[in-house]
């Protein structure tokens, strides 16, 4: 048997990969992150598939299910939200599977930061403005390494995609204003790609009040950076006067 760690994507059930859909369609046992995965994604499962919500389970309880599946020679789909490689807590599960000598495979998924960018119809990189994207979060019950504190990351002036921090949006904005400026564009995308998706656009100066007014405290992506502006330099990629391997520059 094998355990498949599958990225369920950001919410829209059509944003799972073809491989993920095939595995879900033939699944016998599915352990899914019920607090984050859109229930509509579970519609890809066969009617008779066993379903277990990991939101109410401990690692030990999940491991027991893995062992039970091996005894019955049944594959397991371990369904995580977004892409499993980002805040997925898969390492500890893999350690248990290694201990039990159970094989596993990871099927990547669309992350919420990508779905947020799509909802915003924006590019997270911008010529001469930002060529770096930082995926991060603020400290909570899980502390942040000191050298990855948000204030230190802000010195890069990169585009920031901040997970798991909607409840601290005011604090985030205040922290970043010193390096990005209070007028820096910010967006908050709640439930990116879900039917109830909500987009807030503003600046570091006003986004906190907007989020408070909308009652957004979780399952939202915060995107910060001047790359969100539309008034930025154009790239060289399609510049008629720029030569590259596939095109010669045109001269007037």
How far is CA 177 from its chain centroid?
24
pLDDT category at 127 given cuts 50, 70, 90 is: confident
In CATH, what class is 3-107?
Answer: alpha beta
What CA–CA distances, in Å, run from 248 to 55, 236, 242, 245? Answer: 56, 13, 7, 8
Is the predicted pLDDT of residue 49 greater than 90, yes or no?
A: yes
CATH superfamily of domain region 112-228: Tetrapyrrole methylase, C-terminal domain (3.30.950.10)
Question: Where does residue 179 rank: exposed (0-12), middle (13-18), buried (19+ CB within 10 A)?
Answer: middle
Instruction: Determine the average pLDDT of the residues in 157-164.
Output: 96
Residue 241's pLDDT band (cuts 50, 70, 90):
low
Check residue 55 and give its pLDDT: 93
Q: What is the model's pLDDT at position 242?
A: 63
pLDDT confidence of residue 47: 95
Q: What is the pLDDT of residue 141?
A: 81
Q: Are the C-beta atoms of residues 209 and 175 closer than 8 Å to each other?
A: no
As a whole number, the mean pLDDT across the chain is 93
Cβ atoms within 10 Å, residue 190: 22
pLDDT tens digits, 191-210: 999 999 999 999 999 999 99
Domain range summary for the chain, segments of one domain joined by +? 3-107, 112-228
- What's the pTM? 0.90
Q: Which of 163, 172, 157 is nearest to 207 (CA)?
A: 172
- Asked whether the predicted pLDDT for residue 237 surpasses 60, the reply is yes
């Amino acid at each position: 048997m094998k355990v498949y760690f599958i990225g369920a994507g950001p919410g829209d059930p059509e944003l799972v990969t073809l491989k993920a859909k095939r595995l879900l369609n033939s699944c016998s046992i599915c352990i899914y992150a019920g607090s984050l995965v859109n229930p509509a994604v579970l519609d890809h499962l066969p009617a008779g598939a066993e379903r277990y919500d990991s939101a109410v389970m401990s690692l030990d309880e999940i491991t027991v299910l893995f062992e039970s599946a091996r005894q019955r020679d049944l594959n397991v789909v371990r369904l995580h939200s977004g892409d499993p490689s980002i805040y997925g807590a898969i390492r500890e599960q893999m350690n248990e599977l290694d201990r039990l000598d159970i094989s596993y495979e990871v099927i990547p998924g669309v992350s919420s930061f990508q779905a947020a960018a799509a909802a915003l119809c924006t590019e997270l990189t911008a010529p001469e403005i930002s060529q770096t994207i930082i995926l991060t979060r603020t400290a909570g019950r899980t502390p942040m390494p000191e050298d990855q504190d948000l204030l230190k990351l802000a010195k890069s002036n990169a585009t920031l995609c901040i997970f798991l921090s909607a409840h601290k949006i005011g604090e985030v904005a205040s922290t970043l204003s010193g390096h990005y400026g209070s007028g820096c564009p910010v967006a908050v995308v709640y439930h990116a790609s879900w039917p109830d998706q909500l987009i807030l656009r503003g600046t570091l100066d006003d986004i906190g009040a907007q989020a408070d007014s909308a009652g957004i405290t979780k399952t939202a992506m915060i995107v910060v950076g001047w790359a969100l502006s539309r008034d930025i330099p154009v790239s060289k990629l399609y510049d008629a006067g720029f030569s590259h391997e596939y095109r010669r520059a045109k001269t007037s």
